[in-house]
Amino acid sequence: MNEKSIKDSQVIMHELVLPNDTNVLGNVHGGRVMCLMDICAAMSAYKHARKPVVTASVDQLDFLAPAKKGDILILKSSVNYAHRTSMEIGVRIDAESPLTGEVRHTATAYLTFVAIDENNKPSTIPKIKPATDNEKRRYDRAKNRHMERRKKRVC
């Protein structure tokens, strides 16, 4: 299988925070953020694998700042690392105030997806070829996280 570039898996999604998405403080529900994050990451995984994918794990989900009712959520995702059948997707969420244009980094997470075949068994995927220094740094860090996850599974 050929290697693919990271840019081929990039996704940018926008979502308006509506009243039904918020708690009594007017902040977006963490579960809503997690749902949107999973959808955005899944699109990156589909674009890379070009076959069905399933969420295998979510780790290092950090809520950094609240997003408020009326904010525009900007979700960005891409494949950081691809192994034989699994891939790590990095997702960053920013919140933009539509009135001021101020943008705040609100959440970050790493999700692992597995490609599956017509028998619902893991299926091989292309490798990732990082091009820029930033992509290489993210690739190396993701590869290390992959190895740590594998060690935890064995224990």
pLDDT tens sequence across 26-74: 999 999 999 999 999 999 999 999 999 999 999 878 899 999 999 999 9
For position 152, what pLDDT does the model report? 81
Q: What is the CATH number of the domain that holds 127?
A: 3.10.129.10
DSSP percent split of the chain into helix, strand, coil, nearest 5: 30, 40, 30
pLDDT tens sequence across 74-114: 999 999 999 999 999 999 999 999 999 999 999 999 999 99
Give me the half-sphere count of Cα atoms (radius 13 Å) on the Cβ side of residue 46: 8
Classified as helix, coil or strand, 154 is: helix
For position 17, what pLDDT does the model report? 98
Look up the pTM and report it: 0.93
| Confidence tier at 150 by pLDDT (50, 70, 90) | confident
Q: What's the rounded Cα separation, in Å, for the pair 106 and 129?
A: 28
Q: Which residues of 53-89 are buried (b: 16+ CB within 10 A; e: fewer)?
A: beeeebeeeebeebbbbebebbbebbbbbbbebbbbb
- Which residues span the domain enclosing 79? 4-154
Classified as helix, coil or strand, 50 is: coil
Q: Which of 58, 67, 66, 79 is CA-nearest to residue 18?
A: 67
Domain count, the chain: 1
